[in-house]
Amino acid sequence: MNPAVLAQDHYWLRRAHCPVTLLPSGFTANRQGLAEVDLAIAQGRIERIQPTGAALPTTVPQLDLDGRMVLPCFVDSHTHLDKGHIWERSPNSDGTFAGALRATRKDIARFWQSEDVYRRMEFGLCCSEAHGTRAVRTHIDCTHGQYQISLPVAAQLREEWRDRLTLQIVSLLPVTEFLTPEGAAIADHIAQLGAILGGVAYSHPDLDAALDALFNLAKSRGIEQLDFHVDESGDPNAMALRSVAAAALRHGFTGSILCGHCCSLAVQAPGVVAQTLALVKQAGIAIVSLPMCNLFLQDRRIDHTTPRWRGVTLAHEIRQAGIPLAFASDNCRDPFYGFGDHDMLEVFRESVRIAHLDYPCGDWVETVTDIPAQTLGLGANRLEPGQGADCIIFSGRSYSELLARSQHDRWVIRGGKRCDRPLPDYRKLDDLVALGEFPDNL
């Protein structure tokens, strides 16, 4: 294939395999839910899509994809760019959630000045862009006054990257802190930035009071997007998701709410799950699952025995309940997850394998493309005439080929043109992070 055509203002992509679930209605799917189509790209937008076979104008350049899969660019709806890539200097000494918190707290206190946060966040954005992601929502650790350093850095990057990638910013702190003046100050900063109010909701005697405080702060400051970490554990008594849904209904909240993790649903009785999901549906809450991070932290055993459960939420049941569900990256090369490359294809591939999304893959590809875009308020993210020509051409021609290899040779198209930015070299961060291992008791 000659990529020169992808520098033109007007061209046809011939013989592309696209999921029918992301196409306009009326296309015939093969057994895998893919249709073979020709797409006209003009002035940065998808101009037309038609089944392969019809005659094409000979005056317009064509690129024959020979069945390669084309997807809309990815949307990564739950990340922690501010924590990213600190593993080398602050590894998680025992792999547990508590170990992750411990190592991260020490890293924050020791290193998180503006330049450190900026360069690691930018590194993550470069990875996301190179892999074909067009929008990223990142949580920003706001505890112990860190918001005063990290929120301005995130806002600066949001502005600098405006033409390359949409960056959304969410506050991250225990929701009980919204009962304190510090929580109100953080809500003020979030409102001023036009960002998203978020926090970690967990089992606590003051949880409902804390959620009331958070919803009141959002209401009084005109914040219409909320985002919670909930129930990231295998504890069947963890019911923060239900508490958030109840609070949203109690406050008549009409904005958007995204809840991440929801692992404990997987260890609760079916009747309990049904009641919670009914409330979540009624409250209009969307859920994002972070399977790679869950695999890493959940059921981690310090005696080096084998984990017994995978830690992921009830993906199938959530979708069957009519609740929008996305999959996302979560942490990347930090004490909460020692691996990752901000690659949403890896997230999708692992989600398919971990949650058995492959009988058939069907419309699950929406969970990393259209659904997170809609959940983040970015509008539709599909392959339809009128949509921006922001898409990825993979070498794989079927889900089997797509998900079997890394697809590192993919071509990213942004605004109708090939975006050929390489992955950043790890050496760029050597002066920040290659400091050797520090003892855990620093």
CB 133, min distance to Zn ion, A? 16
The least distance separating Zn ion from the CB of residue 171, rounded to whole angstroms, comes to 12
Q: Measured from the CB atom, is 350 or 401 closer to Zn ion?
A: 350
What DSSP character marks residue 367?
Answer: G
In whole angstroms, give the CA distance from residue 381 to residue 373.
6
CB 37 within 8 A of CB 18: yes
Set 36, 122, 177, 232: catalytic member: 232
CB of 104 to Zn ion, least distance (A): 12
In terms of DSSP bridges, do strands 256-261 and 34-42 run parallel, antiparallel, or are they unpaired? unpaired
Residues within the interface to Zn ion (CB under 5 A): 330
Type of residue numbered 301: R
∠ CA 154-157-162 to the nearest 5 degrees? Answer: 125
Compare residues 77 and 268 and give the one whose CB is closer to Zn ion: 77
Cα(269)–Cα(382) distance, integer angstroms: 36
Query: Is 232 annotated as catalytic?
Result: yes
H-helix segments, 174-290: 181-193, 207-220, 240-250, 270-282
> Which residues sit opposite 69 in a β-bridge?
17
Smallest gap, in angstroms, from Cβ of residue 219 to Zn ion?
A: 25
Burial degree of 348 (CB within 10 A; 0-12, 13-18, 19+): buried
CB of 74 to Zn ion, least distance (A): 17
Residue 361: DSSP 8-state = -
* Residue 231 vs 330, nearer CB to Zn ion: 330
Burial (CB < 10 A; 0-12, 13-18, 19+), residue 57, is exposed
- Give backbone dihedrals phi and psi of 87, rounded to 5 degrees, phi first: -55, -40
DSSP 82: T
For the chain, the 3-state helix, strand and coil shares in percent, each to the nearest 5, are 40, 20, 40
Q: How far is the CB of 62 from Zn ion (least distance, A)?
A: 43
User: Does residue 82 contact residue 117 with C-beta atoms inside 8 Å?
Assistant: yes
Instruction: Report which residue's Cβ sits closest to Zn ion.
Output: 330
Active-site annotation, residues: 232
